[in-house]
Amino acid sequence: MDRQTSSDMEKASIHNIEEVALHGHAATNIKDGQSLFHIDEAKERALRRKIDLRILPTVALLYLFCFIDRANIGNARLAGLEKDLGLQGYDYNILLTAFYVAYVVFEFPAQVVNKWIGPGKMIPILSFGFGLFSLCMAFVQSFGAAVAVRFCLGIMEAGVFPGIAFFLSRFYRKDELGFRLALYIVCAPLAGAFGGLLASGILKIDHIGPYRTWRNIFLVEGIITMGIALISYFILPDRPETCKWLTPEERLLAEARIKSENVGQTEVVDALHSKTLWSGVFNPTTLISATIFFFDNIVVQGVGFLYPTIVRTIYPGQTTIQLQLRTVPPYVVGAFTTLLTGYLSFKTKKRGLYMVLSAPFMIIGYAMYLGSMDPHVRYTAAFMVAIGAFSFGALCTAWAAANVTSDTARAGALGTVVLFGNCGGLVSTWTFLPKDSPRYVPGNAFNLCGSTVMLILSAGLWAWQVRENRAKAKGRDDWRIEGKTQAEIEALGQKLPGFRYAY
């Protein structure tokens, strides 16, 4: 197959699914990108529904507690963590920073390990680890110990978000992926809502053994996470080919339909090669999507860590439990819009459109924060920010994943997007400082500017991809495949004439 030239492949005709699903066989015409086999739509819908029901609840639950275990420190802060550990000045911000330093440093290496070992195995292992270190936070007695535990938590969580996105990309088509990403990424705003409710309930427990107040939050949530991770280890398959709950026919269909969207590729899961990995990293769509996600994550992670504190400045006279409950409604609205934009993206096969529509809500929200100290205006601003911000997690990762042509390149692209996002999380730990309370002008102004940049980049990338597709359709890249072997063709990626940017 390696010596098959472009002229040979252009003569390829429609094949059956069994043939194109075999290792070493292409599933698309490299010149026009058209599939070389026909799929029964009813069978594909049934397969997709089966995958949805088996995989999505598990990964959504894992990510829910991943985000809860990351952000529950904000709830613990309201419940007395700072006082008990003797935190002063910027100590709380340093505590948040420790998590993100580890998260950023280990992000890309963790994604390479996900590719090497397999996300179906690594995601449960990493999830058990972050549950364990969340549990350990219940036992810390000093600032130094808390920093060490948060750093270890960051190491464990580094590979979970990109790992789940990479895992799902092995089971779903590019246009299906955005909505499925939304179905688990929605757990970020839900974690804010559910985490606040759960923390309120836990705080009503007087003690668990010798442990009280905020320590109970980490104790209970850590144990729950570890239990879910253990169960998921026996549920998640690594790829369709090894999935025991699919029939042999369904496995072939699952493999063939994914291969059909990777123009020029002959394997669904290719071998790990550094050149291919870096091609996914330095893809223009990857880098722009990653930059957008950088600014978005400054908002999302800042909300997760500091929204309870902002609520306290709006409603200073209320009890801790009342404040926890006040944090819930904006998260619920954010969760709804995340699902809505993800679903519309799936149905319309567009991503850039909904990013362009979402960014103005963030701009308006931060303008309201800067323009008024009225509690009702600022609480409304929280809803505006939530409507705009939370949907970008699914849309940015889906946009990057849809514009590469191999499993390895996809691992690199997703790792890069989430790496940039977590760099934004690191920045977010220093955007709302105690000295800026209660108005937080620097943090709100920075996020206002960042939201504007997100709008400009989203619109710009969309316009560029439309222009590139028009040039490809006119035959600009046809010369690139002349006389090439299959190995050389696979290395072309987005330069293939049959490749079209998915925007």
CA dist 77 and 208 (Å) reads: 19
| Cβ atoms 199, 215 nearer than 8 A | no
* Buried residues in 361-374 as b, exposed as e (16+ CB within 10 A): bbbbbbbbbbeeee
Joined together, the tokens standing for residue 293 give 């996600």
3-state SS, residue 211: strand
Cα–Cα distance for residue pair 65/381, rounded to 1 Å: 26
Assigned token pair, 448 = 């206002």
Which residue intervals of the chain bear CATH 1.20.1250.20?
39-251+266-475
Give the Cα separation of 496 and 10 in Å (integer): 13
pLDDT at 331 over 90: no
Q: What is the pLDDT of residues 356-413, one digit of tens each?
A: 999 999 999 999 999 998 888 888 898 999 999 989 989 999 999 999 988 899 999 9
Tokens of 384: 């505006």
HSE-up (13 A, CA, CB side) for residue 415: 25
Answer whether 390's CB lies under 8 Å from 188's CB.
yes
Q: How large is the C-alpha radius of gyration of the chain?
A: 23
Provide the token pair at 333: 């609205």
H/E run at residue 158 = none
Q: Which two tokens stand for residue 49?
A: 């529904």
Q: Please provide the DSSP assignment of 314-358 as one string.
A: HSTTS-HHHHHHHTHHHHHHHHHHHHHHHHHHHHHT-SHHHHHHH
Q: Which residues contact 243 (CB under 8 A, 6 or more apart)?
A: 237, 251, 254
Q: Is 480 exposed, middle or buried (0-12, 13-18, 19+ CB in 10 A)?
A: middle
Q: Residue 121's closest CA among 184, 153, 61, 167?
A: 167
Considering only residues 315 and 459, tell me which one the structure prediction assigns the higher pLDDT.
459
> Taking phi first (over 0 means left), then psi (-120 to 50 degrees means alpha), and beta for anything else, what does residue 180 get?
alpha
Q: How far separated are the first and last CA of the chain, in Å rounded? A: 32
What pLDDT does residue 306 have? 61
Q: Are 52 and 254 in contact (CB under 8 A)?
A: no
Other CB atoms within a 10 A radius of the CB of residue 24 amount to: 10
Name residue 59's amino acid: V
Distance CA 112, CA 367 (A): 40
The first and second tokens of residue 423, run together, are: 């760099």
The amino acid at residue 191 is A
CB 302 within 8 A of CB 428: yes
Fold of 39-251+266-475: Growth Hormone; Chain: A; (1.20.1250)
Give the closest residue to 43 by CA, choosing from 344, 241, 259, 252: 252
Phi, psi of 502 (to 5 degrees): -100, 110
Residue 20: the pLDDT is: 62
Q: Judge whether 363 and 455 are in contact, CB under 8 Å.
A: yes
Token look-up 């936070």 returns 137
Residue 37 in this model has a pLDDT that exceeds 80:
no
Which residues on adjacent β-strands are paired with residue 384? none
Cross-strand pairs, 175: none
Cα distances (angstroms) measured from residue 447 to each of 94, 109, 304, 383, 391:
20, 29, 14, 15, 16
- Give the model confidence (pLDDT) of 98-112 as tens digits: 988 998 899 899 999
* Maximum alpha-carbon separation in the chain: 76
Share of the chain above pLDDT 90, in %: 43
Place of tokens 């499993």: 407
* 323, 379 Cβ separation under 8 angstroms: no
Helix axes 187-203, 174-185, angle to 10 degrees: 20
Sign of CA dihedral 481, 469, 270, 273: positive
Question: Which residue is listed with tokens 């996002």?
Answer: 421
Mean pLDDT estimate for the chain: 85
For residue 403, what pLDDT is reported?
94
pLDDT (tens digit per residue) in 192-248: 667 667 766 766 677 676 666 788 888 888 899 999 999 999 989 988 888 989 998
By the 8 A CB rule, do 397 and 288 touch? no
Instruction: Answer with the residue of higher pLDDT: 446 or 30.
Output: 446
Question: Which token pair is 177?
Answer: 């992926």
Residue 151 has pLDDT above 90, yes or no: yes
pLDDT confidence tier of residue 463, bands split at 50, 70 and 90: very high
Confidence band of 270 (pLDDT split at 50, 70, 90):
confident
Cα–Cα distance measured from residue 376 to residue 169, given in angstroms and rounded to the nearest whole number: 42
* Residues 412 and 277 sit within 8 Å (Cβ to Cβ): yes
pLDDT at 43 over 80: yes
Tell whether omega for the bond before 438 is within 30 degrees of 0, i.e. cis: yes
Question: Which position has the token pair 């769509």?
Answer: 285
What helix, strand, coil percent values describe the chain, rounded to 5? 75, 0, 25
Asked if 137 and 230 touch (Cβ cutoff 8 Å), the reply is no
